[in-house]
Structure 1
Amino acid sequence: MTTERTTSTDPHARPATADGASGPPRHTGLARLGAWSASHLGIVLALWLVVLAGFGAFAPKVETALSGAGWQDSGSQSVQARDVIQHDFAGMGSTALQVVVHDGTGPIAKDPAARRVIAQVESTLKADPRVSTVVAPRPGVSLSRDGTTAIVQAGAAQDANTMVRAADDLTAPLSRLATSTISVNLTGSSALWSDFNKVNHSAMIKSEVLSWPVTLIVLVLAFGSLVAAGLPLMLTMVGLLTAAGALVIATHLAPVSVWALNFAMMFALALGIDYALFLVVRYRSALHHRGAQPGDRRTAVEAVAETMGTAGKAIAFSGVTVLVSLSTVLLVPSPAFRSMALGIMLSVVAVLAATLTLLPAVLGKLGTKIDAGRLRRPGSDRRPGRHTTTQGTTHRRGVEQLMHRWGALLHRRPWAAGALALAVLALLAAPVLGLRTGMPSISIIPANQSARAGYQQVTAAFGQGAPGTLQVITPTPDAGAARAALAHDRGIAATVPAGANDGRTMLLAIPTTDASAPATGATIDRIRTELPHGSLVGGAAAENHDLEKALSAKTPVVFALLIGLGFLLLLIALGSPLIAFVGTITNLASIGAAFGVAKLIFGDGHLSGLLGFQSQGFVDAWAPLFFGAMLTGVAMDYTLFLLSAAREQYDATGDPQHAMREALRTSGRVVVAAAGVMVAVFLTFALSGPLAPKEMGIILAVAVFLDALCIRLILLPVVLRLTGHRAWRAPTWLAKVLPAVRFTH
């Protein structure tokens, strides 16, 4: 047996009072919160000013407080090896600094100028308190056979994040030691992450600055008025300032990646736009059907209460869903990923809190002035006194009529529209079956950066596997057996002893292949099985390999949780197993199609010339997991906006077809406008110089575009059309278990 809910045929009918007479609505839950906020602007503003002052005091320190490392599997063997090396071998592990000195005129030993440069390099490194020891170039180890390239090594006296900061500080002073014939380049893992963070952070900031004018234009067009268009920016600034301050506070507990701020900024803008659009559209509608007049504060408060009881409830569920989606990233045992997820979650909490309190307070104060500074179409009514109930209607009518006609078309041709959308998604998703992932190679760092120049000099002088030298820690009694095992492995070109201490011996094993090559990962896995018991294999290449394996292992778990938790939240919100299932599964379709496009562009190199990048032959290993969680949260926004409106209309009228068309008419424009802004913002990242922002921008833009167009505006309405009443039914036993969530006022 199944159950369904129907009520009055008037979608705007007010609830009856206890004695059956019609009366004012009795506010409950979010509606009561909205009414209180709308009536107490001063208190709400004062509370938010206290919050912003508290977090804002820390926000200016965010750029210097955040960390540049943390891209590791904290529980991996390679990180264990690094810890041992840090303690017992003067920090000569993966975070040690390497300065490559190359003499273009001949052997360094015969050039007094080159020897002076090496002495100056050693002096500069020794003067830095973050350096534990400095090792001069040694023949056969760090001096090339032709004598023209030497490596000065500096042990790490501090943790990985501090050594990235050391690389930040030392790159320029060391580069200034170069002459017209002698180059000096700081390289190594810490320097690579330093250059990676600086270049990409700068590119993302430029992209965000570039995106603001585009965002403002789209916002004005979407909201139809200058005043309304400013509301998302208010939410964005509140979310960003609060998140920035909270991230600085969080650094006192654990390191926080500098990338956390970038993603927090991105989500603060995205959700600020989404939530403000949804609330403002519904608030305007509530004002309109109440016939609100300028200065009528009571009607404005009632309109806010109605809006919060319907759209506000959908936004609350959406925010919880986004937080749950992002929390799955915390399963990855990597400080960088966890802190990036934390940054986004902090911005979500701040934007959600401001949406449910500050925005209603401002709307209640604005009343009909929400449409001040509105865009006027030619021929619109400009007569005094006509703007109160019709301003905004003129601007909205075109889009809403278009959405209504689109709903009617889907009603007449559901099979054709659904088949077309599925065909497009399937065609774009097909390449994902051949998707390869891997950790970023040296090619993601621009050629003019010191770390890449030094990396290439090491490769040319010592072999392609030299930058990925493995550090093997083995019990001293087993050192001979370990050297023999390494010598007989086909993936190891050479083995060099690097010292012994506290019953352990360290060996340097140089692979035959590049540090980021799949063959190097296979070599690491193989020698771990061949080395004596108790041995550890570390080094930058091993840390990247271990992180890639952790990401591959956690990605299926994360997606399983995203599907399961997403289904549960939609089931609670909408009360329909069928709609919850469809809403959750369709998220995967747009994500799959986006990664199919990513495979063609970034894996196969199509459009690499147009977009200006060098293909690595794969997509970065962290993209499916991290972007999958982000996109699931964004997709759930659109799903809840559309389906909560349909649920509201169905509960009010009992007509599933009317509910589908009305949901498209009222919420379709929100989905289109929000997606338009997000696609425009994400595409600006695709114009950035470095590869990482390009990859992020293309994947996110394609996914959001396909989700809005193919899923929310075609497939979900088609499912509602074809299933009719069945879409909103639930087994009797389930209906008794689920909470009674209603989106009607």
Structure 2
Amino acid sequence: MTDSLTVSAAGDTAPPSGSAGMLGRLGDAMAGRTRLVFGIWLAVLVALGAAAPSVFDSLAGAGWQANGSESVRVRELAEQHFGGNSSAAVQVVVHSDTATVDSPQVQQVVGEITGVFSGDARFGAVVPPQPGMSISPDGHTGILIAGANASTDDMVKAVDEHKAALTDLSGDGVEVYPTGASALWSDFNKANHDAMLEAEMFSWPVTLAIMVLAFGSLVAAGLPLLLTLAGLVASAGGLVLLNQITPISVWAMNFAMMFALALGIDYALFIVARFRDALTSAPNARAAVAETMDTAGKAVALSGLTVLVSLSAVLIVPAPAVRTMAVGIMFAVAFVLLATLTLLPAALGALGTKINAAALPHAKRQQHRSPRFAAWGRLLHDKPWPFAIGALIVLIGLSVPVFGLKVAMPSIQVVPADAPVRQGYELVQAQMGKGAPGMLQIIAPAADADRASSTAMTVDGISMVTPAQPAGDDSGLVMMQALPDVDPSDARMGEILDDLRDTLPSEALVGGAPAENLDLQQALDHYLPIIVGIILVLGFALLLIALQAPLIAALGTAVSLLSTAAAFGVAKLIFQDGHGASLLGFTPQGFLDGWGPVFFFAMIFAIAMDYTVFLLATAKEHYEHTGDPKRAQVDGMAHSGRVIFAAAAVMVAVFFTFALADPLPPKEMGIILGVAVLLDAFAVRLVLLPVLLRLTGHAAWRSPAWLRKALPSISFAHH
């Protein structure tokens, strides 16, 4: 399929003919209606931007659970029948070195804590510290429990609102620390939010500097940043509105901020670079926009679709936080992609040759066809084997450690040491035992209470079971608390939970915060191979449709998988084994956070396919023009190499700024994604994939006649 552009006597480009590609016609339309496009986008940004500032306060703070699991069922029963004494209940630790819990001094503080909770309907029954259950053996530490009378998300918000009032009650020798799962997410979300914002603020000027060096023009460099900012504002406002329909995790925006910045700049880089080249031969700016969108625009559209498809696979995990994290990134990518395909062409049409304004001296000599990358492409073509073997040794060598990768849900160490929830957690451990912050809850019919209690005590790893507490209604249920003798994040906790569930009467259910973490980890482990399979199949299908060539589509998918495995191998070495931990400023947990493999695989593979599309789409464009595989490989590298290099530099800068964060999860995210981009861009896209094009020659682009008939006709060439 080819495009034609006709030029009128006046010199204005008429709309492309009926044979033009859809994106070419879209680009022409956007460039010809700049005021309308700017007006619509301004209205959208004003409307959604009004909601955007409240995004972090509005979004949900919990959702880390496996819907339908036994532990979630226990929490629901606890909220219905036991005054909200569930995993979402707020535990307030009260401690005094000099006074006991039953002293007037401490009892006055307990009363004041009760008063904080009494005026808020989100809290259920308030249970003061009980001897033998929630008071330490020495009597100096007690735990007050405020039941959860609202959803887990609302309980996190309730803690957000009241934790300052609670901690302010500390004084006169009495210490007060709100703790428990809801308080943990409150403190961690704040620390994570602060770290993400700090990293974003640092990454923007670094990104601008890289863009100026890459483009050599302040206008050309600033345009992608403005475009990305528009996409971020729109997605933030959209998530606030979507949160009114269904709870969206605050983590969704955290991830969306980072991913939208990186991908938005990638897309704009590719489009702007191609537009500047088109300006040298097109009769005017509008024709250059049409040509750009008909070539680079197709690659960007395909890349965005690949990212959305990869992330959509994560939606099958039955965990609200995981699903909405994917939704948040998809929202941001969709808005950035929409802006790239509509707002950016309009801006380019309006700017025309002014895109090169405020140019640095070297930019005036810069060509879209990079002589350096052309020379690199010829070197790879002339001596493919040394480079292929070297790249494979690096990638396979880094992939080997992935077979020893361990995953688990985050420990208390992900929360800053000075956070009240961690101080309360460690105090409870010191006074009541390692497993005290992670009590397991057993709910059973009253008739099975004695048998459940005695059976639970026979389980290795359970050091105590509290007396059965009857429900506050006629449900006929009782609740017991089982005290493990290990830290909630200890690997043995999984064995203890399994043994407890296997030995208790069939009607008894086991839950609690540690059980919810373990049930979520089991769900993530179960769905990981399914998600990987879906992403690989859909990624291959999209490349096949775009390139019409099964061999190169399969090779592109395979090398993307290889670079992803290498990134996880590096993650194992750093975050599990602790190599470089002191340099990066963290204490290794001995495992990777449990949601990492599912989520990072989707994100890394999406980024890898991003660069695959840029390189192969450019190479295919030149193959369609010349029919020469060498020209396709060399010119593909010459025309896309600088963009891939610059885009990778921007992504690495964006991601590695998150390595500066104090909380461990954003540090993991930044380093793993940054390493993935380094490996993928420089070892795969700029070495291994071009070498594979050289070694496969015409076969890379060959397609059976029956397949060409079955696939839609897509061309990256512009005639």
- The alignment's TM-score, normalised by the length of structure 2, stands at 0.96
Per-residue deviation, 1:123: 2.2
- Matched-pair contact (CA < 8 Å) for 1:235–1:268: no
1:51 equivalent among 28, 44, 52: 44
Q: How does 1:30-69 map to 2 (within 5 A)?
A: 30-69=23-62
1:711 equivalent among 679, 684, 689: 684
SS in 2 for 1:657: helix
Q: Name the residue aligned to 2:224.
A: 232
Does 1:546 find its partner at 2:519?
A: yes
* Partner amino acid, structure 2, of 1:46: G
Distance of 1:212 and 1:130 partners within structure 2: 40
Q: Name the residue aligned to 1:388.
A: none
Does 1:268 find its partner at 2:260?
A: yes
Distance of 2:493 and 2:662 partners within structure 1: 28
SS in 1 for 2:522: helix
Distance of 2:99 and 2:372 partners within structure 1: 74
Q: Name the residue aligned to 1:696.
A: 669
Distance of 1:358 and 1:438 partners within structure 2: 43
Distance of 1:265 and 1:710 partners within structure 2: 27
Q: Name the residue aligned to 1:318.
A: 303
SS in 1 for 2:143: strand
Per-residue deviation, 1:457: 1.1
SS in 2 for 1:102: strand
Per-residue deviation, 1:173: 1.1
Distance of 1:357 and 1:24 partners within structure 2: 16
- Matched-pair contact (CA < 8 Å) for 1:232–1:269: no
- Matched-pair contact (CA < 8 Å) for 2:440–2:515: yes
2:620 equivalent among 647, 656, 668: 647
Distance of 2:356 and 2:427 partners within structure 1: 62
Distance of 1:476 and 1:115 partners within structure 2: 33
Distance of 1:176 and 1:302 partners within structure 2: 66
Per-residue deviation, 1:28: 3.0
* Partner amino acid, structure 1, of 2:265: I
SS in 2 for 1:154: strand
Q: How does 1:79-98 map to 2 (within 5 A)?
A: 79-98=72-91
- Matched-pair contact (CA < 8 Å) for 1:591–1:703: yes
Q: How does 1:114-129 map to 2 (within 5 A)?
A: 114-129=106-121
Q: Name the residue aligned to 1:606.
A: 579
Q: Name the residue aligned to 1:657.
A: 630
Distance of 1:640 and 1:102 partners within structure 2: 59
Q: Name the residue aligned to 2:611.
A: 638
Change (3 A) 1:535 1:706: same
SS in 2 for 1:368: helix
User: RMSD of the TM alignment (CA)?
Assistant: 1.8
* Partner amino acid, structure 2, of 1:300: A
2:312 equivalent among 311, 327, 335: 327
* Partner amino acid, structure 1, of 2:293: M
Does 1:579 find its partner at 2:579?
A: no
Q: Name the residue aligned to 2:359.
A: 374
SS in 1 for 2:538: helix
Per-residue deviation, 1:234: 2.0
Change (3 A) 1:723 1:460: same
Q: How does 1:55-204 map to 2 (within 5 A)?
A: 55-109=48-102, 111-204=103-196
1:303 equivalent among 273, 288, 303: 288
Q: How does 1:361-440 map to 2 (within 5 A)?
A: 361-377=346-362, 392=363, 394-396=365-367, 400-440=370-410
Deviations 1:616-654 (A, max 9, x none): 001101111101111111111111110001111001100
Q: Name the residue aligned to 1:380.
A: none
Q: How does 1:245-284 map to 2 (within 5 A)?
A: 245-284=237-276
SS in 2 for 1:472: strand
* Partner amino acid, structure 2, of 1:288: T
Distance of 2:309 and 2:608 partners within structure 1: 13
Deviations 1:517-569 (A, max 9, x none): 12111111221121112221110000000000111111111111110000000
* Partner amino acid, structure 1, of 2:383: R
SS in 2 for 1:108: coil
- Matched-pair contact (CA < 8 Å) for 2:277–2:367: no
Q: Name the residue aligned to 1:29.
A: 22
SS in 2 for 1:98: strand
* Partner amino acid, structure 2, of 1:76: S
Q: Name the residue aligned to 2:332.
A: 347
- Matched-pair contact (CA < 8 Å) for 1:375–1:395: no
Distance of 1:222 and 1:216 partners within structure 2: 10
Distance of 1:36 and 1:24 partners within structure 2: 7
Per-residue deviation, 1:506: 1.0
Distance of 2:440 and 2:510 partners within structure 1: 7
* Partner amino acid, structure 2, of 1:190: S
Per-residue deviation, 1:175: 1.2
Per-residue deviation, 1:106: 4.6
* Partner amino acid, structure 1, of 2:366: H
Per-residue deviation, 1:45: 1.1
Q: Which moved more, 1:518-527 or 1:432-441?
A: 518-527
* Partner amino acid, structure 2, of 1:135: V
Distance of 1:619 and 1:191 partners within structure 2: 23
Deviations 1:328-357 (A, max 9, x none): 110111111111111111111111111111
Q: Name the residue aligned to 2:698.
A: 725
Distance of 2:654 and 2:49 partners within structure 1: 25
- Matched-pair contact (CA < 8 Å) for 1:90–1:155: yes
* Partner amino acid, structure 1, of 2:52: A
- Matched-pair contact (CA < 8 Å) for 1:126–1:133: no
Does 1:469 find its partner at 2:416?
A: no
Per-residue deviation, 1:13: 10
* Partner amino acid, structure 1, of 2:625: A
* Partner amino acid, structure 2, of 1:465: G
Distance of 1:738 and 1:13 partners within structure 2: 23
Aligned residues: 707
* Partner amino acid, structure 1, of 2:300: I
Q: Name the residue aligned to 2:11.
A: none
* Partner amino acid, structure 2, of 1:395: Q
- Matched-pair contact (CA < 8 Å) for 2:99–2:105: no
- The alignment's TM-score, normalised by the length of structure 1, stands at 0.93
Q: Which runs of 5+ in 1 are unaligned?
A: 16-22, 293-298, 378-391
Identical-pair percentage: 53
- Matched-pair contact (CA < 8 Å) for 1:94–1:189: yes
SS in 2 for 1:730: coil
Q: Name the residue aligned to 2:565.
A: 592
SS in 1 for 2:715: coil
Distance of 2:397 and 2:358 partners within structure 1: 44
- Matched-pair contact (CA < 8 Å) for 2:5–2:287: no
Q: Which runs of 5+ in 2 are unaligned?
A: 7-13
Per-residue deviation, 1:127: 3.1
Per-residue deviation, 1:429: 1.5
- Matched-pair contact (CA < 8 Å) for 1:86–1:157: yes
Per-residue deviation, 1:24: 10
* Partner amino acid, structure 2, of 1:71: W
SS in 2 for 1:513: coil
Distance of 1:525 and 1:286 partners within structure 2: 64
SS in 1 for 2:361: coil
1:523 equivalent among 496, 504, 513: 496
Deviations 1:137-172 (A, max 9, x none): 111101111111111111111111111111112221
- Matched-pair contact (CA < 8 Å) for 1:376–1:395: no
